[in-house]
Structure 1
């Protein structure tokens, strides 16, 4: 008999490995009666997040939230963690008696992934993209002591991201974010070479790397790349960075650690990280062999 229900909401959501991680956690913790499912919410023609949440029964305890629902999740919550408010987006909703509490565990996933890769204090970094996940990357980098960040974007930096960069002191002398254009592969290559950490928050299928003109002679032996993508691994960007000597961290590591933080929020128990890692590794199979 089901006593506690949870799930992941997004569009698309079919590829999500969150069920693998959360179900592995429930099994390791002995939480019988707990379930975790996928729900396509928020895409064109789909049910919107608020309507979906309002129809959930009292046995629901939590939701993992993916795009395009991260900002709406924050808006519908009756309360939010300081981290979620600072980023302006939530990847987690946790049920309490008076409604849903929004949290964002993406920065936790990024920090833990970088620490496991041997990163300590960071002086300079590059973040590719300027959406909600990019804001999580900025927040995570700030926790590692970084204040020199260049945002690699195709157009203008999104206003909420520019505002967070200013709040964190990651701006130039005029209070503006320091940017590099994704359309200039040479400039992006140089920016990566000058940085200890590069975090890509761009979606799967982004045409970056050697195929897009990134310099194959770039020296990245002192650089760690965390690519938030975990499907279709390795990405062109990961292949380029690895060939240039970088330590490449797949998005599955970020996924693991942000999910572990979600499990703790939803269950009130310490997450069984190694059991979750084993389940994720089995689900991904050989896709991480180029790590």
Structure 2
């Protein structure tokens, strides 16, 4: 690992990724002459491309659709990756790739930064892979009640099991539920940016507290506009992107997402500037 200085983000599509700018800013601040690029890698190509990496490679950031296949190929998983079945970070070692899920910690840090330090109750819109990470993020912050709004009841079953394992009670609602939703401190939108949820979203906006929409392109989304019309604040997914990237830098530098970097405040500030200017 001493001579390993190559890093990249893999995914498909990948041209939109802001990870190269974030990581380049961090390594400049740390005075590390590492390279960080981006490569389009499909799920089918992933095993072969991974096997081609040599000892000059230190690690990878992984985005969709690679998070599940990366989890299966890892020789070791951190707790977040183990619970979610998703890996967004590889630390490459002689024994094989160690897998991490920094989306969980990144979202928790973003919520805390937004002033939602200890949400008593929360709501998640959508029941896909991002919702899984959101449940764990909320559990880290001490949330004990989470409502998942999903069209298919069966989609909530694995989330309910995950919630039980971390002491979070998961209930389900639907977008066309005639009942008025209960007020919550924060709503996490884990939906595609252009999804049309229809007029049924208005009650959720009125009773949704802060909206954290994980989308960060084409902002503001239609969902965010509904929150603003209802008089509630909405933020995009850039703070989550920033903080999950900082945790990745911790992994690439020291091998542990829980151990802060030297001069971490300066590193985070440099990454934040790069994110705004990208």
TM-score (ref. length: structure 2):
0.88
Matches within 5 A, 1:49-128: 49-128=46-125
| 1:250-283 Cα deviation digits (max 9, x unpaired) | 1000000000000110122445111000000011
Measured in 1, the distance between the counterparts of 2:19 and 2:173 equals: 33
Cα offset, 1:170, TM superposition: 3.1
The more displaced of 254-263 and 271-280 is 271-280
The equivalent of 2:164 in structure 1 is 166
Cα offset, 1:99, TM superposition: 0.8
Measured in 1, the distance between the counterparts of 2:243 and 2:269 equals: 10
The equivalent of 2:224 in structure 1 is 238
Residue 247 of structure 1, aligned match among 220, 233, 244: 233
Structure 2: tracts of 5 or more residues without a match? 255-260
Residue 146 of structure 1, aligned match among 138, 143, 148: 143
The answer to whether the 8 Å contact 1:107/1:136 transfers is yes
The answer to whether the 8 Å contact 2:6/2:36 transfers is yes
Structure 1: tracts of 5 or more residues without a match? 172-176, 284-291
Residue 192 of structure 2, aligned match among 183, 198, 203: 203
Cα offset, 1:159, TM superposition: 5.0
Does residue 30 of structure 1 match 2:31?
yes
Cα offset, 1:163, TM superposition: 2.3
The answer to whether the 8 Å contact 1:129/1:201 transfers is yes
| 1:138-157 Cα deviation digits (max 9, x unpaired) | 00101111111111112131
Cα offset, 1:28, TM superposition: 1.4
Cα offset, 1:213, TM superposition: 4.6
Measured in 2, the distance between the counterparts of 1:217 and 1:95 equals: 43
The equivalent of 2:258 in structure 1 is none
Residue 133 of structure 1, aligned match among 130, 148, 168: 130
Runs of 4+ off more than 2 Å: 158-163, 168-171, 211-220, 268-271
Alignment RMSD: 2.2
Measured in 2, the distance between the counterparts of 1:267 and 1:142 equals: 27
Measured in 2, the distance between the counterparts of 1:144 and 1:74 equals: 25
| 1:106-130 Cα deviation digits (max 9, x unpaired) | 1111111111111121111111122
Does residue 278 of structure 1 match 2:267?
no
Cα offset, 1:186, TM superposition: 6.1
The equivalent of 1:17 in structure 2 is 18
User: How many aligned residue pairs are there?
Assistant: 266
The answer to whether the 8 Å contact 2:88/2:100 transfers is yes
